[in-house]
Chain A
Amino acid sequence: MKFLNIVKALVYREFIFIRNNIGEYVVLSFISIFFAISIIGIAISVGGTSKFIHRFIQIFQVSNNISLSKIVAALISLSGLLSIVADIVGSVSQIVIYEINFTEVIYMIAQSVDLYLYYMAYALVSGIISSIVSTIYLIPTLLIVSNLSGLFTYLILLPIFIITGIALAYYTLIISLPVALILNVKRPWIISQVFVPAIIAGTGIFIPINFVPIFIRILAYTTPLPEICIILQNLLLKNTIVKSMIIIFVILLTLYISTSVVVSLKSDKYIRRGL
């Protein structure tokens, strides 16, 4: 019952947060679509459409009769991952660090609830709501690109996005709690400023991950994103499901949740003892 009450309060706060920052969500959606379309635009402008499709087939090893509109729809759907990472990793890390080091509302929260419950609930709520809100732009975009089937694609992708969001939120919690409590950073935006593009660039998102140079990939391997990216690419382009990646992802998700229970329990004690 206690957990549910915390969740209710957090849902309310999350919606207020979204209402106040609606401009950032619009810009984020625009940037995601822009990235997907400009990649195709740059590639086509140099060599022509047929050569681009040939190269695409070569790289992703898909069947020969793939059409341009299907490629566009697939890349736009993949851009949803970009906006999820930018939203969740950015907001969770900033809010956790601000609450502890700057506004210090964490002491007020600690008076009324158990902090480990609060953190677990926050990651869950933020993961679910942010992943829905930040990918909602896919509905009109996919409807334009591939009519009604685009809508079904979105409905299939939405559960995957939500699970990715939850995993990412717990992952960010594991990283940002120790940063806030032990490092006591003066400039918390640096974490989101560097982490977000590093994870996205390391995953490659629009290309298979083995094309990304190894030193950029390292950070991305600690997140669940490479596995999800492979699953999505196979689902969208080849209509197949990679079972091994799903198993790895489930193992990672369990690892994240169990580790974040430990980390938030520890930080609960740490905060109550006084910083």
Chain B
Amino acid sequence: MNIRKYLKFVYLGIRLVKFHKSSYIAYLVSTILWIIIVVCPALVLSPNPIKTLYTYFPGILTFNIVSSGVWTSVDYFRFYYYQGLTDLFIECGVGILEYSIICILTDGLLIPLISFITIFSIATMYVKISIMYIVPKSLTMFIIGLICSLPLFLLGSTLTGIILVLSPVEVAWISLFEFIFLIGTVIPPQFTSGTLSFIIPTTLAADLLRAAYSSNYLPIDLLYLLSPIYFITISTISILMGKYCDKVVKRRGIPIRRG
């Protein structure tokens, strides 16, 4: 484990943001607005807005993290490929996993957090309640949830990477694929079948965040116990998947439908 190398990656990530300032701002604004379109009308129409806010909103943060992981992978395997950047990255030893680590601080943490706070505060304006509802009831739980959500960024990017590496799928279908992660994150387990939710790995991290607003599904003691195991398992799985992606790319190249 070379710490210096990963610190360099983080530095690279910050440089990348400076290059693409306008893209990042547009991405942030569009993320916020798309979520507002679906969530705020639901909040207005719901009979109990505060309960809706606490049940559905913490999951948005986890979903945002996973979905930006998914789109990081699409960037790497599709949009950068057209500009010849992917080959350049691979030659320099930056596979999908390394590229995800480059982006994790901005795409995986900063943008989801900013958009979460903005969405939450705009949502309170829709139903005209105090903005202070945004403050989590247990800050430690919130931080644990956030830390446990970070490997999900890697999971999202490597899982999408496998799909993009094995089949010449169009980018449009990826936006349908990311809807799978809605189950368990934004849609809490109490409203879907519990087992189905916990097959999808994003649920536990979202439940940790929900526990910060005391609307959790699993008991808090169990969540504390599971969180380190969860963090290690998800990280290991995504590292293995990332290595597999690199292996396939080296052997067969990236399949892209032409024309």
Contacts and interface: CB of A to CB of B under 8 A. Distances in A.
B47 A43 contact: yes
B22 interface: yes
A30 B176 contact: yes
A140 interface: no
Contacts of B23: 187, 190
Nearest to B33: A197
Interface stretch (B34-42, B153-161, B222-230): B34-42
A74 to B, nearest CB: 12
B122 interface: yes
Contact of A35 (B38, B47, B51): B38
**From DSSP, what is the main secondary structure of chain B's interface residues?**
helix
Interface stretch (A94-102, A114-122, A208-216): A208-216
Interface string B167-194: 0001011011001000000000001000
A196 B29 CA distance: 11
Given A207-B44, A213-B125, A201 B175 contact: no
A1 interface: no
A224 to B, nearest CB: 18
A138 B176 CA distance: 19
Interface in B42-71: 42-48, 51-52, 55-56
Contacts of B170: 23
B26 A194 contact: yes
Interface stretch (A45-53, A170-178, A236-244): A45-53
A275 interface: no
Given A194-B26, A213-B125, A43 B45 contact: yes
Interface residues of B, number: 35
B49 to A, nearest CB: 9
Contacts of B33: 194, 197-198, 200-201
B6 interface: no
B236 to A, nearest CB: 32
Nearest to B39: A42
B24 to A, nearest CB: 10
**From DSSP, what is the main secondary structure of chain A's interface residues?**
helix
Task: Give the one of B23, B26, B41, B52 with max A CB within 10 A.
Answer: B41
B198 interface: no
A58 to B, nearest CB: 9
B44 A211 contact: yes
Contacts of B51: 46-47
Given A42-B43, A43-B52, A200-B33, 14 more contacts: A27-B172, A39-B42, A45-B55, A46-B48, A59-B44, A190-B23, A190-B26, A193-B26, A193-B30, A194-B26, A201-B33, A201-B40, A207-B44, A216-B36
20 contacts: A21-B172, A30-B176, A39-B38, A39-B41, A43-B45, A46-B47, A46-B52, A48-B47, A51-B48, A56-B45, A187-B22, A190-B22, A193-B30, A194-B33, A197-B34, A198-B33, A200-B33, A205-B37, A207-B41, A213-B125
